[in-house]
Structures are given as structure tokens and as C-alpha cells.
Structure 1
């Protein structure tokens, strides 16, 4: 299993009443990919820039796709720029992968509501149990990513367990990107409200 898959499964399991915005989740998934690429030594960080290795060693198809999307010559991608580029619609891509692998099912809310569209649910699987165990153990990387998308509360202080400086850099970039996206949503909401008031003559 990979960190992005664990994050998506954890989100689907934990997000009742706290479902994250898709854009937030996509940014966090991109960050999770980068953390796994760092762990696999497929990339390193030079400051806040991502330097691919000569021989990336990843066995997951989505991580291979992520690695192949990186700039391989200077100037390399910055972490922030890559999160925004790679993160576009990434949650939908991972959902499609899980569905293809048979890890998602369809279920209706009520049997008598025959015209209600079914919603996607996780099936019981080793992958789901692995993600649940990782979440239950408060593994710091997964916990930080889950906090970034809002499915668990932010810790009072940054976790001292994330000792790897490169991983900490990626986690900080994910949190910053999610905050920037939320600020953009708020600006758009204010602009739309002002436009509606003009039309209503208020």
C-alpha cells in the first residue's frame, strides 16, 4: 500500500460529517505521493525543489506516473508548484483506481428509494484494514495529511515524530496550499455575494 491510497481510504472511512473539499484532498494526495517518492529514494529535495533520481524505484502505477511527471532538468519543480500541478483532479484519479481494483462498491441509502443514485462505499479488504491500522496508530505522516484536509483535528503543536526534514517540508507545503485554496474559495464567495447584491439592487 501507499500513503496516497491510505489517505484516501482513511478519508472515506473517517469523513462522515467532515467530508473534505476535493481540491484539498487532491493537494494532500499529491503531497502523499511526494513523501512516498522521497521514501523510495526516487527523488530528493534541494531546498524546496524536487530532484528526481537517475533510477526511480517505485512499484505503484500512480507513483510511477507521479515520478514521470517531474521536471528532470534544472530548474526543477518546486514542491508548491508541483502540488498544484499534480494535484489537479487527483482525488478522482485515485477513486477510479480503487474502483478498478474492486475496492469500492455501490450502495443505496434506503431500499425503498429506488430512484436515489447509489453512493460509493469501501468494501472490506486488506487495503482498508491496513489504512485503518495505520490511522489507529496515529502514524505522524498520515495524521498530518488527514489534519490538512480536515478529517481530524489539527494537533496543538507540530508532531515531533516527523523527524525527516524533507518530509516536514512537504507536509508544510501541503498545509500552506490547502490554506491558500480555502482563502481563494472565500474570496470567490465574497465576490459572488457582492455580484448577487448588485443584481438585487442591495
Structure 2
């Protein structure tokens, strides 16, 4: 599986440290795709610009879609802009893909046959590889997991070490985008609270 699929799998773990927000996960998945495309030789990153590099096409369908959406003429797209554009609803896209591949299944919760459905991981080789990759401390996967709050119990500030400068740039941009999304959420909460107080009056 790809880094993006591995990230989705560990975010869906039955007992994660906390529930991962879909927006946060979508941004991190878009970053994981960039790293997979880097590894496949499909792109390079020049500063903060994503530059298509040759005609290498990944075998993975979702990575192929990501590659097809690259900006191929100057001015090239910035990593941050890619995360927000490609990341829109990307977690739902990965959920659908993994369900089709048999990595996820939907089961009804509770005793009633018409109760709400919950998505659960299936015990597959892909899932076991993703879990093993995390347990082995893969720095790229660990850094992306950290961006969405899955720190695996590491002490605060004890970030995985990544020696590749380009990978570090992408991962850092993912962290910044997730923090920006959280800031937007907080602003909306404050605005909604203030609006509600106006309607309630003194």
C-alpha cells in the first residue's frame, strides 16, 4: 500500500489516541500523496513548488489521479496550495477506495438491524503492513501521524527525525496547514458563540 493508505489505516485504528478530524486527515493524506509521488519519481519539489518530473505514472489508482491533477506548466503549484486543493474531502475518497479494496467494511452498531453503520478495518495484509510500519517507527509515517494528533505516546517535542530536506518541507507544510485549519475552527466557534449571545441578549 501507499503512505497515504497506510496513514488512513492507522488513523482508523480501533483504539486511536483520539478521533482524527476528517479535515485534518484529508490535508495529511494530500501530503502523503506528495511524498509517494516524490518516491515514485513523478515530481520534485523546488523550494515550495511542486514540479512534475518526467512521465512516471504510479500504479496506485489514487496516486494516478493525484499525478493527473498536477500543474504541469509554470508557474507551478505551491505545496500548501496543493494540500488545500487536493485535500478537499480526500479522506472520504480514501475510505471509498479502501472499502472497494476490502480493507474496510461497514457494520451496523447496536442490536437493531437498521442502526447506524460504522466503518471498521478488516484484518488484511495491507492493514498489518501499515501497523508494522508505524510500530517500526517509520519517520515519514510517524511525522504525518503526528500532524493529525496520533503521536503514539511520544513525549512532546520528540519528533521523528527525517534526513531528507524535501520530505521535511512537505511534512512541515502539512503541520502548518493542520494548525491553520484548527485556527479557522476556533475562530468560527468564537464567532458562533458571540452571535448566539447577541440573540439571547443581556
Name the TM tier (shorter chain): over 0.9
In the TM superposition, 1:77-92 aligns within 5 A as: 77-92=77-92
Post-superposition shift, 1:40? 0.8
The TM-score normalised by the length of structure 2 is 0.94
Hey, what does 1:61 align to over in structure 2? 61
Measure, in 1, the Cα distance between the counterparts of 2:52 and 2:15: 34
Ranges in structure 1 where 5+ consecutive residues have no aligned partner: none
Ranges in structure 2 where 5+ consecutive residues have no aligned partner: none
Measure, in 1, the Cα distance between the counterparts of 2:98 and 2:92: 10
- Count the aligned residue pairs: 200
Measure, in 2, the Cα distance between the counterparts of 1:115 and 1:57: 43
Measure, in 2, the Cα distance between the counterparts of 1:107 and 1:88: 26
Moved more, 164-173 or 112-121: 112-121
Measure, in 2, the Cα distance between the counterparts of 1:145 and 1:60: 20
Hey, what does 2:148 align to over in structure 1? 149
Post-superposition shift, 1:78? 0.3
Distance 1:41 1:14, change over 3 A: farther
Hey, what does 1:159 align to over in structure 2? 160
Measure, in 2, the Cα distance between the counterparts of 1:17 and 1:40: 31
Measure, in 1, the Cα distance between the counterparts of 2:39 and 2:129: 18
Q: Secondary structure at the match of 1:13?
A: coil
Q: Which runs of 4+ in 1 moved over 4 A?
A: none
Assess if the C-alpha contact under 8 Å between 1:106 and 1:120 holds in 2.
yes
Deviations 1:39-60 (A, max 9, x none): 1110001110000012123111
Assess if the C-alpha contact under 8 Å between 1:99 and 1:105 holds in 2.
yes
Q: CA RMSD in A?
A: 1.5
Post-superposition shift, 1:101? 1.1
Hey, what does 2:103 align to over in structure 1? 103
Post-superposition shift, 1:115? 3.8
The TM-score normalised by the length of structure 1 is 0.94
